[in-house]
Structure 1
Amino acid sequence: MSLRAGPEHPRFRDTVRRLPPTVWIVSLGILVVRVGNFLPVFMVLYLTSRDIPPAAAGLVLGAAGLGNILGSAIGGYLADRIGRRWTIVLSMVTTAGPTAAIPLFDELAVLISLVFLAGTASQIYRPAAAALLVDATTTTQQRLAAFAVHRFAMNIGAAVGGVLGGILATVSYVALFLGNAVACLLLAAIAALFLRDLTPARAHSDIPGDPPPAPPPGEPIPATPEPSYRQALTDRRLRRFLVMTVIAEFVYIQSTVGLPLHVDAHHLTPADFGLLMGLNGVMVLLLELPITGLVSRRSPGAVLALGNVLTGVGLAMTGFFGEMHWLAATILIWTMGEMLYASMASAYLGDLAPPTMGGRYQGLYSAAITAGTGLGPLIGGAVYAFNSWALWTVCALGGLLSAWLCLPSWKDRRTRTTSAMEEPKAPAPPVHEPGGPIS
């Protein structure tokens, strides 16, 4: 049952209005850099225009993917070590150089090196930006609102950037990559001038599981372990969340792998595929914030589970249909799953992370996203080539498995039950008989 709005549980739109300035500054910066983020979208077209064969283009894209994973890990470490603000600045400044240099070289080895460097540097800022949103918010609902606004800025930026990139590509690819570099420098300037690192504020969380018990009176408090990725991975709930993320992203990315192959197999045109993906984009822009508000007081695990089920089942249903109107119906289903999942997953992780390792938790999450989206095209394409129904079955099973991983594990449920049973109960208030004395 949802909670009634009041002083302690404000309406979601009121929470959005009252978000700290840091959230709006970070979201503005993300909007700017996403508008100019042409490299991932137009890299294949650029390589094709330089007569680079498909196999070599695959090496270039593979280098970018490896760089993305490495950059996520580096970004998480730096966000905790040197601070969120300067990690964002360092990331964007070091991305601008290799990006601007790409159209200046034709040698394959040089292109692979530059794309790897750009792919690495361009991901370093992401854990820092996410950790800064967590630091700036104090409640689960605030974090959910912050990441919903962040996602909205990303989607607006991607939509505008796709149109602007297409215009620049018809003029000059040099202008395309220079524009990307300029967008990176603008984000660096916004971070340097307007952002400040914050002391993380912790609040009540809806995440299942209990904090470590306090030591008995008279015993020394154990030393806090040094923050590290190894220490972060001792968190059983984080490991479960990361596995869920890889599977969920693998399933979702089939919308750009299995779906276009299915469209082509049913003799629909690229324009038809564009209309279907346009439906997804319009739904996300118009409905994600309101839907996030509707589920903002629900159990995060339950919302994530529902989102994964809808995504997996919606994509699996693609295999049953070949007509545009039915394919559009399947897109409505898996897009609903995407909207339920995206912001809630980031807020869930924000509640899960200890204050001293917020950057590392976000770095691992970003790496898990990259791993899922990187493996998705390789494995998904191979499975579809073997048998199209095998891919749609994998989507359905992946959606169900990732949904199960969102729910509390048996050990967490047992721990919570044991804690509730051991918690001392307050004495019951005296019962007063009607008309009797009140003591």
Structure 2
Amino acid sequence: MKKTPVHPQPPPENDIASESLLQQIRAMPRPVWVLFAGVFINRFGTFVVPFLTLYLTDEGYTAWEISAVIASMAVGGILSTGVSGRLSDLIGRKNTMSIALITGGISMLLMWQAESFSGYLITAFLAGATHQMYHPAASSLMADVVPSARRVTAYAIVRWGINLGWACGMAAGGFLAEKNYAYLFIGDAATSISYALIAMFLLPQGVRTTVKKSRWAPAIRHMIRNRAFVAFFFANLLAVSTFFQWSISVARLVTDLGYEKWVYALIMSANGLLIAIFEIPISQLCRHLNPRRVIAFGYLFCGIGASMCGLASGWLIVFFAMVVFTLGEMVSMPVSGAYIADLAPEKMRGRYNAMTGFTWGVGHGIAPLGLVLYEKNDTLLWLAMLLVGFGSAACLIGPWSQRIR
């Protein structure tokens, strides 16, 4: 008689929760380290979006036109939300990630060849759509392969790869932008396609569901009843606008202060370096605390940090503002990823993560208005960032945000 293989069961959640940082890192399954390597490569080559405002400015486009291109990218991300979440649950996390990364690389090459305003609008839309397809699948795969009590650490490890790649890539991107912007588009495309190949050959598919169970209607009904998720949805919707100002309005601020592009690149590179050094230890301090309050604290500091740019008369104040913002990011991001994984049913994770991605798409779409406001009255922009920080924190600390079991 053929014996059924016995798979070792993971230790109880209480035992996992008491693990040290080193024990948690050692216990991470192989897919986490594959994701770490892939996101490092991909984020190292994320050259185009951080420099898009400066590139289009050098091409002679106005603030309104640049805002329209960035908004087009955001609209692409918003409209792809429905497809990305369902595909992730239906055809598997790996397949969805691979499709998104390959088409994302192609969209960068198409944007490089754009020769008109309409060309930039179309290619930016494609880039936004493919970018949004990736994230729900990757976040869901993490939750599939890592037990709940290790997820904060797992998300911090992957973000370590993201920000280490960002720190190195931004420094390289600033150098390349001074030489020739074409290198940014080619490098961005090459690293996306490289990550797609890594995903295809080395990652598992993750959890899948049936066509019927992958529909959006039951998932939306479940989300609406899940008031903890609703509170997080609106908090994130506010908070993400502060993130995008660093690649839009702050980029202009640094150059308007009289500095070269590489100064902005080094400030943003330092953001990634700080996260790479400190985020994992900070996440260990936070993983035993109330996640709603931790995320609220982080979002508040993101708003405070962004608003401090309004005090800038030189690069040092912008740098200090970035440090405060980065503290908020390090506190909130790993915990928020694990929090959504815990709130979502296993076979709805793709759609839950897609709805979270929807907030990033809306924030991305609204963020270009910050550049227009910056040119009209920059003080109002930085004040708005402060109010956004307080507003996002308020969404998470009220009784309406508590989880109903």
* TM-score, scaled relative to structure 2: 0.82
Q: Does 1:131 align with 2:140?
A: yes
Number of matched pairs: 386
* Partner of residue 34, structure 2: 25
Q: Mark the CA change 1:294 to 1:69 in structure 2 (over 3 Å): closer, same or farther.
A: same
- Work out the CA distance in 1 between the residues paired with 2:273 and 2:359: 27
Alignment partner for residue 101 of structure 2, among 86, 92, 98?
92
Q: Mark the CA change 1:291 to 1:226 in structure 2 (over 3 Å): closer, same or farther.
A: same
Q: Does 1:308 align with 2:317?
A: no
* Partner of residue 83, structure 1: 92
Output the amino acid matched with 2:156. A
Whichever structure has more helix as a proportion of its residues is 2
- Work out the CA distance in 2 between the residues paired with 1:188 and 1:373: 24
Q: Does 1:338 align with 2:304?
A: no
- Work out the CA distance in 2 between the residues paired with 1:115 and 1:70: 13
- Structure ID, larger Rg: 1
Output the amino acid matched with 1:231. R
Q: How big is the shift at 1:62?
A: 2.6
- Work out the CA distance in 2 between the residues paired with 1:122 and 1:272: 27
Q: How big is the shift at 1:280?
A: 3.4
Structure 2 residue matching 1:197: 3-state secondary structure:
coil
- Work out the CA distance in 2 between the residues paired with 1:406 and 1:99: 37
Alignment partner for residue 112 of structure 1, among 121, 128, 141?
121
CA offset digits 1:298-320 (Å, max 9, x no partner) = 11112112212222334445546
* Partner of residue 398, structure 1: 388
Q: Does 1:102 align with 2:111?
A: yes
Q: Mark the CA change 1:381 to 1:51 in structure 2 (over 3 Å): closer, same or farther.
A: closer
The alignment-based identity, stated in percent, is: 27
- Work out the CA distance in 2 between the residues paired with 1:114 and 1:261: 23
| Deviates most, 82-91 or 99-108 | 99-108
Q: How big is the shift at 1:295?
A: 1.5
Q: Is the 8 A contact 2:74 2:361 kept in 1?
A: yes
* Partner of residue 164, structure 1: 172
Structure 2 residue matching 1:233: 3-state secondary structure:
helix
* Partner of residue 9, structure 2: none
Q: Mark the CA change 1:400 to 1:106 in structure 2 (over 3 Å): closer, same or farther.
A: closer
Alignment partner for residue 191 of structure 2, among 154, 179, 183?
183
CA offset digits 1:142-179 (Å, max 9, x no partner) = 11111101111111222222233345445654444333
Structure 1 residue matching 2:80: 3-state secondary structure:
helix
- In structure 1, list runs of 5 or more residues that go unmatched: 201-222, 417-439
Q: How big is the shift at 1:51?
A: 4.9
**Higher RCO (CA 8 Å, separation ≥ 6 residues):** 2
* Partner of residue 10, structure 2: none
| Equivalent residues in 2 for 1:362-373, closer than 5 Å | 362-373=353-364
Output the amino acid matched with 1:349. I
Q: Is the 8 A contact 1:76 1:127 kept in 2?
A: yes
* TM-score, scaled relative to structure 1: 0.76
- Work out the CA distance in 2 between the residues paired with 1:331 and 1:406: 23
Output the amino acid matched with 2:279. E
Structure 1 residue matching 2:205: 3-state secondary structure:
coil
CA offset digits 1:1-28 (Å, max 9, x no partner) = xxxx966510123212211111111221
Superposed CA RMSD:
3.3
| Deviates most, 66-75 or 286-295 | 66-75
Structure 1 residue matching 2:367: 3-state secondary structure:
helix
